[in-house]
């Protein structure tokens, strides 16, 4: 007596295999379409912007004439912005992460802070702009300075840095900690000399990725009131400035066709900066990541 | 080196400064950790206080139920937020229509079909897609997607809801794909192997085992993506126009909540004017929308999670 009818199985299996193959192709096509979008986007930008890209473009200030428009003020402004955002957000982010991972007890306050961080990560960036406008620009009277915009950006990327640092600290094995305590080290000594050095690659990688988000953010800058046309370079953190995404936004929204090419050239500069930052992050991850 | 270890320990224990540091550090770190909480409180207070000022000038009923958003009119300014909400929903709808099928398909492909090598190539590319600044997407919508759509459907205007909607969709694909894939990958291999051993095809495993088991994570990823689409600002500011409209038209210029905030901020509305306060009222509405979505996503992923 045969329990399995070979012919029937083959007949049914055929149809199901066809369905399986069909959907495999559909899923693959869907995945590839996302990749295709990326390729088209990059191609469009390079093909439009490459012709305008030159040394002059990097060293000229913004101009009414597309041919003379340059990105100097925006590039320098973005670097200034990062000089404020990087220390502020990393100190606050890593400090919070150390507290949450090493000191905080498992109580309601800790749960609340943790929940608050994950909710904060979901707040739209334009709302952070409104916060910055009220608190930093008006209440603290910082005006539309690098400092005001930098603090706003720092708060925006704070949740990302906290979460990345927490993961990095959590992945430091308990034995290292125990060994340090066993040698008579205090808690703070253990954190500074054992845990942080071991966690630093993860923290840096997360921080660089967060900073690369900050460098591309536009909406909070507009709301905070960062101007576009600037014909000088900032000399301190209290000066007004403009930034790469602001400049690109301005060029993109101009009606003249020529400015589209200038905008594309600006995007190439911005994307190059991002590529550079991401490469550094990947390099740090690969080079210093220790497996315990 | 006349000291024994014991003496050294005793000596070091006696140091006041060290004890002080050990006591102060947790306090200091706690204060730093409260910055994130203060940020949330700051956002809430800012939005609430300025919105309350706004409602001393414009009636709450008009704001919530009004179907005309005409803030710049000198004679007859009207602040009914529904047109801005409708604009936001149009963008979100198109984005979801684009992103959900592609994102979930990509997640199924990556978790069920792809070999490790393929996955190693595709996942970083998706990460790149997720890391592109929104201003770049906005430029792409305005200079490529809109002209492309216009060449196919001539009735589409230069500013419309479809092009930015599609591009917002492209922007949130990586979010849906990677969060859904995480959820699917956490379904134990033994269950899959069981189904495969019973003669299921991979497609049947995906549809009857993996997706149902991971459904809470998949839904949460979609809800989070909706939240991102609602809060997206630069793509719609560049490509969707600035015409708040209370209708079902997708082909012409619209305005979203986020784009209105940008429009006013750019124009440097005088401090203390009703228009100035209106961006906080709109921002508050936007905040409530995204907060509800984030809480919903959290609830779904906790409440309906299958534990293995």
Residues B240 and B138 placed together within one structural domain of the fold: yes
Instruction: List, as ranges, residues 235-294 from B with C-beta within 8 Å of A.
Output: 237-238, 258, 261-262, 265-266, 268, 271, 279-280, 283, 286-287, 290-291, 293-294
Residue A87 sits at the chain B interface (C-beta within 8 Å):
no
Please, which pLDDT band fits residue A291 given cuts at 50, 70 and 90?
low
Q: What average pLDDT does range A41-56 have in this prediction? A: 89
Q: What average pLDDT does range B205-210 have in this prediction? A: 92
Residues B19 and B166 placed together within one structural domain of the fold: no
Q: A97 pLDDT exceeds 90? A: yes
Q: Which of B128, B135, B199 sits opposite A245 (nearest CB)?
A: B135
Distance of CA A245 to the CA centre of its chain: 13
Contact state of B106 with A27 under an 8 Å Cβ cutoff = yes
| Set of chain A residues whose Cβ sits within 8 Å of the Cβ of B293 | 122
Residues B113 and B20 placed together within one structural domain of the fold: no
Give strand pairing partners of B69: B79
Q: What average pLDDT does range B52-62 have in this prediction? A: 92
Residues B11 and B157 placed together within one structural domain of the fold: no
CA distance linking residue B14 with residue A211, whole number of Å: 43
**Does B111 map to a domain?**
yes
Question: Where do the structural domains in chain A lie, given as residue ranges?
Answer: 6-52, 57-288
Higher pLDDT among residues A213 and B1, named by residue? A213
| Set of chain A residues whose Cβ sits within 8 Å of the Cβ of B136 | 41, 45, 216, 248, 267, 270-271
Higher pLDDT among residues B111 and B75, named by residue? B111
B84 within 8 A of B154, measured Cβ to Cβ: no
Complex confidence, ipTM: 0.91
Q: A91 pLDDT exceeds 90? A: yes
Contact state of B136 with A260 under an 8 Å Cβ cutoff = no
**Does B43 map to a domain?**
no
**Does B39 map to a domain?**
no
Higher pLDDT among residues B16 and B182, named by residue? B182
Q: B303 pLDDT exceeds 80? A: no
CA distance linking residue B232 with residue B89, whole number of Å: 12
Residues B2 and B147 placed together within one structural domain of the fold: no
Sorted by sequence, the CB contacts under 8 Å of residue A172 that are 6+ apart come out as A194, A195, A198, A199, A292
Note the pLDDT tens digit of each residue in A216-251.
999 999 999 888 878 888 888 888 889 999 999 999
pLDDT of residue A289: 67
Distance of CA B291 to the CA centre of its chain: 10
**Does B67 map to a domain?**
no
Residues B151 and B280 placed together within one structural domain of the fold: yes
Locate the chain B residue with the closest alpha carbon to A268. Answer: B136
Please, which pLDDT band fits residue B34 given cuts at 50, 70 and 90?
very high
B interface mutation test: which of A30, A33, A45 has the most B CBs within 10 A?
A30
pLDDT of residue A69: 81
Q: What average pLDDT does range A27-49 have in this prediction? A: 93
Residues B91 and B227 placed together within one structural domain of the fold: yes
Please, which pLDDT band fits residue A64 given cuts at 50, 70 and 90?
confident
Residues B239 and B294 placed together within one structural domain of the fold: yes
Locate the chain B residue with the closest alpha carbon to A190. Answer: B22
pLDDT of residue B307: 67
Q: Which of A38, A127, A249 sits opposite B128 (nearest CB)?
A: A38
pLDDT of residue A105: 83
Q: How far is B182 from chain A (nearest CA, A)?
A: 16
A interface mutation test: which of B265, B284, B287 has the most A CBs within 10 A?
B265
pLDDT of residue B8: 74
pLDDT of residue B10: 72
Residue A273 sits at the chain B interface (C-beta within 8 Å):
no
* pTM (two decimals): 0.91
Q: B142 pLDDT exceeds 60? A: yes
Q: B228 pLDDT exceeds 90? A: yes
Q: A57-288 architecture in CATH?
A: Orthogonal Bundle (1.10)
Q: A287 pLDDT exceeds 90? A: no
DSSP chain B: ----HHHHHHHHHH-HHHHHHHHHHHHHHHHHHHHHHHHHHHHHHHHHHHHHHHHHHS-HHHHHH---EETT-SSS-EE--HHHHHHHHHHHHHHHHHHHHHHHHHHHIIIII--HHHHHHHHHHHHHHHHS-HHHHHHHIIIIIHHHHHHH-TT--SS-SHHHHHHHHHHHHHHHHHHHHHHHHTS-HHHHHHHHHTT--HHHHIIIIIHHHTHHHHHHHHHHHHHHHHH--HHHHHHS-S----S---SS----HHHHHHHHHHTTPPTTSHHHHHHHHHHHHHHHHHHHHHHHHHHHHHHTPPP-
Residues B87 and B195 placed together within one structural domain of the fold: yes
In Å, what is the CA distance from B198 to each residue of B128, B186, B265? 39, 21, 62
CA distance linking residue B10 with residue B15, whole number of Å: 9
Domain boundaries, position B148: 78-303
Please, which pLDDT band fits residue A54 given cuts at 50, 70 and 90?
confident
Residues B91 and B199 placed together within one structural domain of the fold: yes
Tokens coding B286 = 């936007």
Residues B25 and B124 placed together within one structural domain of the fold: no
Number of domains in chain B: 2
Residues B224 and B143 placed together within one structural domain of the fold: yes
DSSP A32-79: HHHHHHHHHHHHHHHHHHGGG-SHHHHHPPP-SSGGG---HHHHHHHH
């Amino acid at each position: 007596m045969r329990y399995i009818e070979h012919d029937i199985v083959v007949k049914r299996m055929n149809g199901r295999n066809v369905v399986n193959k069909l959907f495999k192709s559909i899923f693959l096509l869907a995945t590839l379409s996302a990749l295709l979008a990326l390729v088209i986007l990059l191609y469009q930008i390079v093909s439009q912007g490459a012709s305008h890209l030159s040394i002059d473009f990097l060293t000229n200030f913004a101009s009414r004439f597309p041919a003379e428009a340059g990105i100097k003020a925006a590039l320098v402004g973005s670097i200034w912005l990062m000089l404020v955002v990087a220390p502020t957000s990393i100190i606050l982010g890593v400090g919070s992460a150390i507290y949450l991972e090493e000191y905080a007890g498992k109580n309601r306050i800790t749960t609340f802070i943790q929940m608050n961080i994950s909710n904060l990560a979901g707040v739209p960036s334009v709302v952070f702009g409104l916060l910055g406008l009220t608190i930093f620009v008006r209440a603290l009277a910082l005006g539309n300075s690098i400092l005001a915009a930098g603090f706003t950006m720092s708060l925006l990327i704070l949740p990302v840095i906290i979460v990345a640092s927490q993961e990095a600290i959590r992945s430091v094995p308990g034995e290292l900690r125990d060994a340090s305590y066993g040698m008579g080290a205090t808690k703070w000594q253990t954190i500074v000399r054992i845990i942080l050095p071991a966690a630093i690659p993860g923290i840096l990688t997360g921080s660089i990725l967060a900073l690369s988000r900050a460098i591309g953010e536009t909406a909070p800058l507009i709301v905070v009131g960062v101007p576009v046309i600037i014909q000088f370079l900032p000399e301190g953190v209290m000066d007004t400035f403009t930034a790469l995404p602001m400049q690109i936004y301005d060029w993109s929204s101009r009606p003249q066709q020529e400015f589209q090419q200038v905008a594309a050239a600006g995007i190439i500069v911005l994307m190059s900066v991002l590529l550079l930052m991401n490469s550094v992050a990947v390099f740090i991850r690969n080079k210093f990541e220790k497996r315990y | 080196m006349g000291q024994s270890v014991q003496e050294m320990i005793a000596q070091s224990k006696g140091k006041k400064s060290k004890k002080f540091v050990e006591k102060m550090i947790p306090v200091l770190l706690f204060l730093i950790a409260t910055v994130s909480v203060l940020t949330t409180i700051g956002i809430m207070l800012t939005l609430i206080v300025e919105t309350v000022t706004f409602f001393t000038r414009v009636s709450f009923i008009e704001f919530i139920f009004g179907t005309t958003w005409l803030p710049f009119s000198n004679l007859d300014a009207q602040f009914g937020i529904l047109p801005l909400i409708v604009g936001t929903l149009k963008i979100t709808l198109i984005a979801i229509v684009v992103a959900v099928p592609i994102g979930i398909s990509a997640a199924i492909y990556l978790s069920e079909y792809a070999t490790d090598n393929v996955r190693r190539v595709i996942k970083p590319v998706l990460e790149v897609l997720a890391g592109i600044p929104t201003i770049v997407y906005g430029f792409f919508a305005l200079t490529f997607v809109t002209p492309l759509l216009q060449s196919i459907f001539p009735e589409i205007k230069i500013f419309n809801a479809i092009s930015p909607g599609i591009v917002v969709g492209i922007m949130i694909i990586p979010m849906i794909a990677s969060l859904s894939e995480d959820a699917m990958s956490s379904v134990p291999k033994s269950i899959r192997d069981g189904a495969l051993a019973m003669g299921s095809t991979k497609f049947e495993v995906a549809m009857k085992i993996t997706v149902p088991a991971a459904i809470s994570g998949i839904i949460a990823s979609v809800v989070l993506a909706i939240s991102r689409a609602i809060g997206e600002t630069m793509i719609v500011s560049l490509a969707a126009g600035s015409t708040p409209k209370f209708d079902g038209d997708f082909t012409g210029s619209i305005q979203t909540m986020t784009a209105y905030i940008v429009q006013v901020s750019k124009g440097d509305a005088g401090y203390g004017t009703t228009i100035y306060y209106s961006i906080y009222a709109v921002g508050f509405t936007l905040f409530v929308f995204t907060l509800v979505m984030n809480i919903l996503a959290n609830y779904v992923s906790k409440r309906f999670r299958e534990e293995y």
